[in-house]
Amino acid sequence: MTQPYFETPPKITVSITATCNLQCKHCYADCTDKPTTSELTTSEWLAFIDYLVENEFIQIYFEGGEPLHRPDFDTILESCGRRMMTLVRTHATLLTSERAKKWKALGVGRLFVDLMGATAKTHDYFTGSDGSFEKSCNGIRHALAAGIPTDAVLILTKRNVGELQAYLELAHELGAQRAGILRLYPLGRAKHHWKEFALSLQEQVEALAALRPPAGLHVMRSWHPNDANCCWQAAAVDPFGNSIGCMYLREYVNYGNIRSVPFLDTWRNDALYKKLRAGKVEKSCTQCDHNEGTRGGCRSTAYAYTGSWNAPDPFCSELNEGVDIRVLPKWLLHDRPKP
């Protein structure tokens, strides 16, 4: 059995920039303050958004880098807010009350705001910027006050696992309807802090099991029995125009650049892209398959730990097979990792 094959995917993720005003230790994109190489220009992004609309895309999810750090981001939002469901992931330190109101008017449908802990001490340690926690919390308040549904998201690490329950309570107090707890991926600067940040799978599972979410707060998490292989519907473009399927595959694949190849040609013609979407894997967890309608768990972490696209995802407790996820394969620390 294979996954459904879309002629055109309905949704796409766009990493709009690899720049950021913070220098987070866990950053997956190795962000810098200024662009290191040529990012797509405003007119290139606007043309791409027109292309997406013409090809019946109905949802766009922006992340970075920090989208707000890109000076033309509101212009880009304006081009898609009324034409596609528009979601933005941000740390929100630059989101003022006025900007939030403007985003609401531009049609932004939902925000996902990163909080790396329940306290300023923990969060600011990750971001390397004193005061960033307070600014992110204020960003959430501004977005909610402007009427934009807003979720908090946290990447689970050794440094914030002790305040996971407090994080849920904080998200609830801030007014979020949902709080996401995300796994740590060995990408960007995060992989160079792996020993400091990575928990064993058992520690992660126990921390999640101990949570008691406040009434009314929905908790999103992707561990067993909800370890999804999302590749079958995944479309993503990085700041430089590379079609990469999923932002978690950013260091491993490149299906073509939209400056020279129409995006849908990469979707339809690239052999690896088609292979990953087919969902043919060596082994699957039946519970995750049942709940997520997908096969084998996340391909990014399966590949990171085994070098094989068909291997089981070790972040699923049913498929782990003795892999200690606190220990990374050495090849993963290369600039462009290949096994």
Partner 1 sequence: MFCRNGCYMTVPNLRFRPIPEMDDYVVFTPDNPNLYSLNQAARLVLAFCDGRTGTALESAYCAALDPLLPRREARAELRKTIEDLERKGILRNTRP
Which chain residues interact with partner 1 by CB under 8 A? 4-7, 10, 56-59, 81-86, 107-110
Please list the residues that pair with 221 across neighbouring strands. Answer: 181
Least Å from the CB of residue 109 to partner 1: 3
DSSP string, 207-252: HHHT--PPTTPEEEE-STT----GGGG--EE-TTSBB-SSGGGTTT
Least Å from the CB of residue 210 to partner 1: 33
Task: Please state the length of the chain.
Answer: 339
Task: Rank residues 84 and 170 by Cβ distance to partner 1 and give the closer one.
Answer: 84
Phi, psi angle pair for 2, to nearest 5° = -120, 170
Least Å from the CB of residue 149 to partner 1: 9
Q: Rounded to whole angstroms, how far apart are CA atoms 124 and 143?
A: 21
The residue whose two tokens read 């029995």 is: 225
* Region at 336 (left for phi over 0; alpha for psi -120 to 50; beta for the rest): beta
Helices (H) and strands (E) in the chain, counts: 13, 8
Those residues whose C-beta lies under 8 Å from the C-beta of residue 98, and which sit 6 or more positions away, are: none
Least Å from the CB of residue 264 to partner 1: 15
Task: Rank residues 48 and 57 by Cβ distance to partner 1 and give the closer one.
Answer: 57
Least Å from the CB of residue 105 to partner 1: 11
- Chain centroid offset of residue 104 CA: 22
Least Å from the CB of residue 234 to partner 1: 15
Task: Rank residues 56 and 206 by Cβ distance to partner 1 and give the closer one.
Answer: 56
Least Å from the CB of residue 83 to partner 1: 7
Strands 236-237 and 59-63: unpaired
Task: Rank residues 86 and 157 by Cβ distance to partner 1 and give the closer one.
Answer: 86
Q: Rounded to whole angstroms, how far apart are CA atoms 91 and 103?
A: 15
Give alpha helix (H) positions in 26-109: 42-54, 73-80, 97-106
